[in-house]
Chain A
Amino acid sequence: MTHGVRVPVHLATLAFGLALAIGCGSSEGEGPTGGAVSGPADTHCAGMAQAVDLSTCHASVPPGTPDYGPTVYNAEADDDECKYHVKFTATPIRRNQNVTFTVTATTLADHQPAPGANIDGEVFLNDTHPAPNSGQQTTEKSAGVYDVGPIKFDAAGRWTVRFHLHHDCQDSTEDSPHGHVAFFIEVP
């Protein structure tokens, strides 16, 4: 009987220690990871393609209100104005850890890599909660392939990551190289 009691106590101690170890480690690279949110594939361009003209980057533009498209599911989509196809992978996404997105951009007009796009990631949880400043930089690894990061998500929830291509160009004329597409990212 004594033996029968001792074993469960040891097991409980072991389980407690294991749980403690996992708990302590969860903020340092363990535990569940997040990522793109699965959902209906983006089809809004449906074969349409808007060619871009780099010379319009700093053109004077008429008044108007360009709208962002809806935030999309999955890890690839066409940009809001059908200029580019954008897909991404990411390092493990956990709360309060630096994440780097690898973004691949091709032009929809000719399906070629989109080099020199100087991608910027606009990252927010909602209208009053942007991601903390984490020294985000963009490096073009090869033509049309970019590392964007570090990006830090400081809360759990469904975030939006909007990639701006040629973000330093005006966003008004149809053929401006500035393109943008926003993805849902779930952070556990």
Chain B
Amino acid sequence: MLLACGGPRTGADCPNDLPPSCPQAVPSYQAMVAPIINLRCVTCHSPGGQEASRPLQTYSQVYSERSAVLNQVYACNMPPGTAAKPTEQEREALLTWLVCGAPQN
């Protein structure tokens, strides 16, 4: 989901929905965020995928790429092209977790 697999920036269609701050109820990585990443990102970001060099299979891998994940997901660059997009709820959970500093919770 991070980089490549091909796909143009979606420009004006991308919402400005970044949470302004970290809420008290931080989405759980284990219960909420990891399943989203597994569903939306890991096909490319794992061995054998086009972005195998930037794997997102474990917490530590995701944490080390947290800034790029936030930038690319928020800008609607990822998931790219024709790949299935996260739902509004998935996007909100992922962005909120990243704005909260990507805790291992």
Contact = CB atoms under 8 A, between A and B. Distances in A.
A binds B: yes
B69 to A, nearest CB: 10
Interface residues of B, number: 36
Contacts of B85: none
A122 B98 contact: no
Looking at chain A, what size class is its interface with the partner chain?
A: 20 to 34
B59 interface: no
Contact of B53 (A62, A120, A164, A167): A62
A58 B72 contact: no
A170 interface: yes
B23 interface: no
A80 to B, nearest CB: 13
A171 interface: yes
Given A168-B8, A178-B4, A132 B53 contact: no
A1 to B, nearest CB: 56
A63 interface: yes
Interface string A56-72: 00101111111000000
B6 A58 contact: yes
Contacts of A135: 11-12, 14
Contacts of B55: 63, 65
Interface in A88-138: 118, 120, 122-124, 126-128, 130, 132-133, 135-138
Contact of A133 (B51, B66, B74): B74
A130 B70 contact: yes
30 contacts: A58-B50, A60-B48, A60-B52, A61-B50, A61-B52, A61-B53, A63-B47, A63-B52, A63-B55, A65-B64, A66-B53, A118-B8, A120-B9, A120-B77, A124-B70, A127-B67, A128-B98, A128-B101, A132-B16, A135-B11, A167-B3, A167-B4, A168-B8, A169-B6, A170-B50, A170-B53, A171-B3, A171-B4, A171-B53, A172-B51
